[in-house]
Amino acid sequence: MLGRMNGLIRCLAAGGAALVLAACGITRSSVVVEPAGQGGYARPAPAPAAHPAAPGGSYRVVRGDTLYSIAFRNGVDFRQLAEWNGIAPPYTIWPGQVLRLSPSGAGAAAANARHAAPRAPAAGAPANAAPTAPVFQPVESAPAVAATATPRPAATRPSGTPAPVAAPPAPAPAPAAATTVVPVAGVAATRPPPATTPTETAGATRSAGGIVWRWPADGSVIKGFRSGDAIPGIELAGKAGDPVRAAADGVVVYSGNGLVGYGELIIIKHNDSFLSAYGHNRRRLVKEGQRVSAGQQIAEMGATGASRDELQFQIRKDGNPVDPLGYLPPR
């Protein structure tokens, strides 16, 4: 009896050891959970292989890039980027071209020398005409009225002729005269509308930085500007399909989805200092090179590159992100 119990104990001990060894041999899979990005963004996918930076602080151009989108992605002023690489307006670049991203970028100048020089702007084009992306021609500003109405030189009188007496200026019409005019039967008497400051259908405007700004969407601010954010700017609430409007007059210098984290993105150049950007759109309604007006719908709101329907809005001055609330009119 005692021998049988000892044998049973030895069997149980051997079985337990086998179970322990089997458990030790199990390999548990490690699950890495990455937190969501700031401000409700879905964590961006790894940058496409088409956009790696070339060694030595430089960047190799791929199809769909513009000088503005490259400057925007790297947080530099497009004028500096053009100067560092010897690129003149209209800032034409080519796939495969290597651009230096700083004044001391190595190797980019030699690579750029193998490309043809960009075409010079047409003679007579204004110096501040809005530059364009490589797929379209420069968009020239509408000629100013003053440029076409050049005053003629005053006529000279013969020597010895007495100077004519200047006629007194015609008296200005009295403001009340409009109330004394008897309207012709069937014709309504109208008075010219008083001069007003520019207004937009969806909200007020504010002049800041030499530009008249307006809100790009009707939704409330759900994320404010924080310096140092990977994707700086503000976020405006809304639902899919809500209109996204140009915040000011300008020219579209980028319309695409090549910048990771922004989804369907539009960038508008307002002058040599200011750009505005509109991200996460469901659908873009404008093309590169197209001139737009403040308040014009340029996109439909969406959630591309984000976890919710919203507009990611930025204003950049000389390549640097600034708080849009310092430029948009108060609500």
Better pLDDT: 53 or 201: 53
Residue 124 has pLDDT above 90, yes or no: no
Length of the chain: 331
Q: What is residue 90's predicted lDDT score, i.e. its pLDDT?
A: 86
Q: How confident is the model at residue 209 (pLDDT cuts 50, 70, 90)?
A: confident
Across all residues in the chain, what is the average pLDDT? 71
CATH code for residues 205-326: 2.70.70.10
Angle made by CA atoms 221, 325, 69, in degrees to the nearest 5: 90
Name the burial class of residue 118, with classes exposed (0-12), middle (13-18) and buried (19+) by CB atoms within 10 angstroms of its CB.
middle
Mean pLDDT across the stretch 281-286? 98
List the single range of 58-72, 103-117, 169-183, 261-275 with lowest mean pLDDT. 169-183
Which position has the token pair 């640097």? 320
Mean per-residue pLDDT for 115-126?
A: 42
- The token pair at 1 is 């009896």
Arithmetic mean of pLDDT, 233-245: 98
Report domain extents, the chain.
58-100, 205-326
pLDDT for residue 8:
53
Q: pTM, whole model, 2 decimals?
A: 0.56
Query: Which CATH number describes the domain made up of 58-100?
Result: 3.10.350.10
Please tell me the distance from the alpha carbon of residue 282 to that of residue 284, in angstroms, as a whole number. Answer: 7
